[in-house]
Amino acid sequence: MPPWFERLVSDHAKLRSLAAGLAKAQPTAARPGHEQLQDLLLFLDQHSKREEDTLFRALAPTLPTGRGPLAVARAEHVALDAVCDRLRLAMAVPADHSDHALAAQTVRHDLPLLLNLLERHLAAEEKGLFPLAAHLP
Ligand SMILES: [Fe+2]
């Protein structure tokens, strides 16, 4: 098992914990859990880079690049990055700005999308890529 593998496993647990906290906070607040959402976005960004530098790099020589689980995981990282970027932009709109209502609507729309994409992505990696990585030296 490579030295970085356990860190990725614990990252996934932390991501799920952050996501669960956000999902609980969501229905009650007018601007749902922005500090918690910032925490999730920051940690997800750090984790994705860590995963791309270790897991994806280690599996790249043995898996096809244009199809299969590694290609899907890379595409999912791009999709997650896009949603995260949109959320960061929306959260940066000040409350007194004329676009604030639209930005708040974007957060309300994209947060459940992010949580759904994230859980599906984590589960797919754990089913497809993690078992392969666990057998690496
Ligand atoms: Fe990932």
**Centroid of ligand 1 to alpha carbon of 127 (angstroms):** 12
Neighbours of ion ligand 1 (CB under 5 A): 51
Residue 98 to residues 34, 92, 102, 111, Cα–Cα distance (Å) = 19, 13, 9, 21
**In terms of residue numbers, what domain contains 42?**
5-134
Domain count, the chain: 1
**Centroid of ligand 1 to alpha carbon of 121 (angstroms):** 6
Which CATH number fits the domain that encloses residue 86?
Answer: 1.20.120
d(CA 4, CA 54): 7
**Centroid of ligand 1 to alpha carbon of 35 (angstroms):** 22
Q: What is the pLDDT along the chain (137 residues), one digit of tens a residue?
A: 899 999 999 999 999 999 998 887 754 445 545 888 999 999 999 999 999 999 999 999 998 888 999 999 999 999 999 999 999 999 999 989 999 999 989 998 999 999 999 999 999 999 999 999 988 88
**Centroid of ligand 1 to alpha carbon of 105 (angstroms):** 27
Predicted pLDDT at 28: 45
pTM for this one? 0.91
**Centroid of ligand 1 to alpha carbon of 99 (angstroms):** 32
